[in-house]
Amino acid sequence: MAEQKDEVLLKVEKVYYPPKRVLDKALISKEEFDQMYKRSIENPEEFWAEMAEKELYWFKKWDKVFEWNFPYYKWFIGGKLNITYNCLDRHVKNGKRNKVAYIYTNEDNQEIKITYGELLELVNKIANGLKSLGVQKGDRVVIYMPLVIEQLASMLACARIGAIHSVVYAGFSANALRMRIEDAKAKIVITSTWTKRRGKKIDLKSVVDEAVDGLDFVEKIVVLQREGDEFELAEKEIDFYQLIKDQSSECEPEIMDAEDPLFILYTSGSTGKPKGVLHTIGGYNLYTHVTTKYVFDIHEDDIYWCTADPGWITGHSYMVYGPLSVGTTSVIAEGAPDYPDPGRWWSIVEKYRVNIFYTAPTAIRLFMKYGEEWPAKYDLSSLRILGSVGEPINPEAWIWYYENIGRKQCSIVDTWWQTETGGHMITTVPAYPQKPGKAGKPFLGIEADVVNKDGEPVPPNNVGYLVIRKPWPSALRTCWGEPERFEKYWTEIDNLYFSGDLATKDEDGYIMILGRADDVINVSGHRIGTAEVESALVSHPAVAEAAVIGKPHDIKGESIKAFVILRKDYQPSENLVNDLKMHVRHELGSLAVPDEIEFVDKLPKTRSGKIMRRILRAKELGMPLGDISTLED
């Protein structure tokens, strides 16, 4: 495993100390963090219980903080709460009724602001609307919507009444959406007519039509009709605003158990179909709250902007639940980062005086390509904290971000985490010294390590598997309907949480993430399983066999290359390449479309018939082939 990653082990060792203006304001200093960390590891139950008491409102206190029946664990057993009460009601009751919760903007510079008071009313109306459709505690609701306030409010409405939401990113294809609706057996799908990207309308409704066709268990499709729409609703469909118009703006929050499910979010694994990662309410609420507060150092008057989409875990934890629980004002922006021009994001930072900005390395590299003259046109002096997430940030991009966006006046937090972890696991807090390219230290309560296959720590700066030693409050509880896939996280290396990533740890305990150890590709911060793309390709009549690898890419981090063996009677051609790309787009969505397709006669396989993607990749990149003793011939 190590030989592929040697190229990444750069010797960059410069340490960046936080600027004075960050230190002066920081909620916790480096020393305070170190002390808290020590306590959180020595006595995790006491630490988390204290945090839970201080930071959240509970209808009933828990009886027991933590229980671990390997590999299953529970937090705050017997505790009762509702995450929307923590995100909305308590702020409204505590003088923040008129504080803005979200500022929405889009490519046309439209602006919509919604206060905590208004958001609570909207959420309650949607919640009552869902109830009127027969949605009950424990029912699944799939949300397939663009980044609009109604999307976030729909998630919260589910949580209000104890329904389990499963948000599907609106870039996924009909087939990908259908698989998720079927797997979760969703009673209701909430969607919208379209989204706009680069000035072009993208139809979402027709994707849903195709996805739900023939699925009898789907009882209703709630459709948010947007400006300029004119069409008739079909039998099972109901207009979003029609549904909520006459509903009461009051809806008592359902009293939920700390271990009741909050949501399912599908993510790619190394084999087969995506897994439905399940998160529960209490631990997730607490952990996303605490990380939002300390990692982003959020103060009462801060404006916070996370550029993700609620279709991903980043949107769940750091656009919805974390920021609302903390009570901050968030910017949300529908559309592309560089449309109508590459200054769009920086104009938003300037206009709303954004203090905390959270994005992905792929976006930073895109802006590097456009040149520093674009951010230079704008006043970015409000920025104090810059965040990075989704993939390793190369030191060049880190330094560019630091200099051209942060103007050397910001701290950078490079947050490593996963859909499964629910919240930030490894990062430096803003008052901590930073090393470009190294995510940093485990967060409070997290024991992270870099180990070999047997779970033994590797020496400093050696490559190994990134693992977490014990369950933390927001760790996934299971994989929906597939407990055996959940159990693998804790049994792959016995007794440790196996992240699937390769990493190193230096003498100061700073962890550097090198990328995935398994057959998962990271394209622009999005996880794509090689097996998913391969089975999409093989479902095309021309394809006999396919193997897919990730290749380094300047902007996207990785790009997808497919090797394809054609069936008899099919000849390689440019047309066929395009056809196969279209096919993958239809099966999975545009994110999963290979950049390159190469037709081959043979694929390297083990004697037991497994494709050796490692060898394809090494050949493609001109690297040593490594151990080929298991190769068939």
DSSP 163: P
Q: How far is the CB of 418 from ligand WT7 (least distance, A)?
A: 4
Tell me which residue of 397, 182, 286 sits closest to 414, measured CA to CA.
Answer: 397
Q: How far is the CB of 318 from ligand WT7 (least distance, A)?
A: 9
Sole residue written with tokens 């664990």: 73
By Cβ distance, which residue is nearest to ligand WT7? 419
Distance of CA 316 to the CA centre of its chain: 7
472 with 287: CB under 8 angstroms?
A: yes
Tell me which residue of 288, 332, 259, 557 sits closest to 422, measured CA to CA.
Answer: 288
| Angle, alpha carbons 363-369-374 (nearest 5°) | 85
398 with 365: CB under 8 angstroms?
A: no
Q: How far is the CB of 571 from ligand WT7 (least distance, A)?
A: 38
Q: How far is the CB of 447 from ligand WT7 (least distance, A)?
A: 18
**Alpha helix ranges (H) inside 222-343:** 240-245, 281-295, 313-315, 322-326
DSSP 588: T
CA distance 65 to 128: 33
Q: Identify which of residues 156 and 439 has a Cβ nearer to ligand WT7 in the complex.
A: 439
Q: Identify which of residues 220 and 279 has a Cβ nearer to ligand WT7 in the complex.
A: 279
Could you count the other beta carbons within 10 Å of the beta carbon of residue 169?
A: 19
Q: Identify which of residues 309 and 587 has a Cβ nearer to ligand WT7 in the complex.
A: 309
Q: Dump the DSSP string for 428-478.
A: --TTS-BBTTB-BEEPTT--EEEE-TTSPBPPTT--EEEEESS--TTS--E
Q: Determine how β-strand 275-280 pairs with β-strand 261-267.
A: antiparallel
Q: Identify which of residues 375 and 392 has a Cβ nearer to ligand WT7 in the complex.
A: 392
Q: Identify which of residues 8 and 565 has a Cβ nearer to ligand WT7 in the complex.
A: 8
Give the residues lining the site for ligand WT7 (CB under 6 A): 267, 312-314, 388-392, 414-419, 439, 499-501, 513, 516, 522, 525, 527
Q: Identify which of residues 326 and 514 has a Cβ nearer to ligand WT7 in the complex.
A: 514
Q: Identify which of residues 280 and 388 has a Cβ nearer to ligand WT7 in the complex.
A: 388
Q: How far is the CB of 313 from ligand WT7 (least distance, A)?
A: 5
Q: Identify which of residues 128 and 288 has a Cβ nearer to ligand WT7 in the complex.
A: 288
List C-alpha distances in Å: 177 to 61, 168, 255: 38, 7, 31
Q: How far is the CB of 547 from ligand WT7 (least distance, A)?
A: 21
Q: Identify which of residues 414 and 532 has a Cβ nearer to ligand WT7 in the complex.
A: 414
Number of H helices, E strands in the chain: 21, 32
Structure tokens at 502: 């390769």
220 with 238: CB under 8 angstroms?
A: yes
Q: How far is the CB of 497 from ligand WT7 (least distance, A)?
A: 12
* Stated length of the chain: 633
| Angle, alpha carbons 337-155-274 (nearest 5°) | 75
Q: How far is the CB of 234 from ligand WT7 (least distance, A)?
A: 34
Q: How far is the CB of 415 from ligand WT7 (least distance, A)?
A: 5
Q: Identify which of residues 191 and 419 has a Cβ nearer to ligand WT7 in the complex.
A: 419
CA distance 487 to 499: 13
Q: How far is the CB of 442 from ligand WT7 (least distance, A)?
A: 13
228 Cβ neighbours under 8 A, 6+ residues apart: none
Q: How far is the CB of 268 from ligand WT7 (least distance, A)?
A: 8
Q: Where are the beta strands (DSSP E) in 496-626?
A: 497-505, 511-516, 520-523, 526-529, 543-553, 557-566, 596-599
Helix (H) or strand (E) holding 606: none
477 with 259: CB under 8 angstroms?
A: yes
Q: Identify which of residues 123 and 364 has a Cβ nearer to ligand WT7 in the complex.
A: 364
Q: Determine how β-strand 80-81 pairs with β-strand 275-280.
A: unpaired
Q: How far is the CB of 403 from ligand WT7 (least distance, A)?
A: 20
Q: Identify which of residues 136 and 461 has a Cβ nearer to ligand WT7 in the complex.
A: 461
Q: Identify which of residues 139 and 391 has a Cβ nearer to ligand WT7 in the complex.
A: 391
Q: How far is the CB of 524 from ligand WT7 (least distance, A)?
A: 10
Q: Identify which of residues 313 and 576 has a Cβ nearer to ligand WT7 in the complex.
A: 313
Distance of CA 535 to the CA centre of its chain: 24
Q: Identify which of residues 79 and 589 has a Cβ nearer to ligand WT7 in the complex.
A: 589
Distance of CA 138 to the CA centre of its chain: 23
Q: How far is the CB of 125 from ligand WT7 (least distance, A)?
A: 31
What does the H/E/C string look like for 78-134?
CCEECHHHHHHHHHHHHHHCCCEEEEEECCCCCEEEEEHHHHHHHHHHHHHHHHHCC
Distance of CA 123 to the CA centre of its chain: 23
Q: How far is the CB of 620 from ligand WT7 (least distance, A)?
A: 20
Q: How far is the CB of 175 from ligand WT7 (least distance, A)?
A: 20
Q: What are the φ/ψ torsions at residue 207 (nearest 5 degrees)?
A: -65, -45
Q: Identify which of residues 395 and 572 has a Cβ nearer to ligand WT7 in the complex.
A: 395
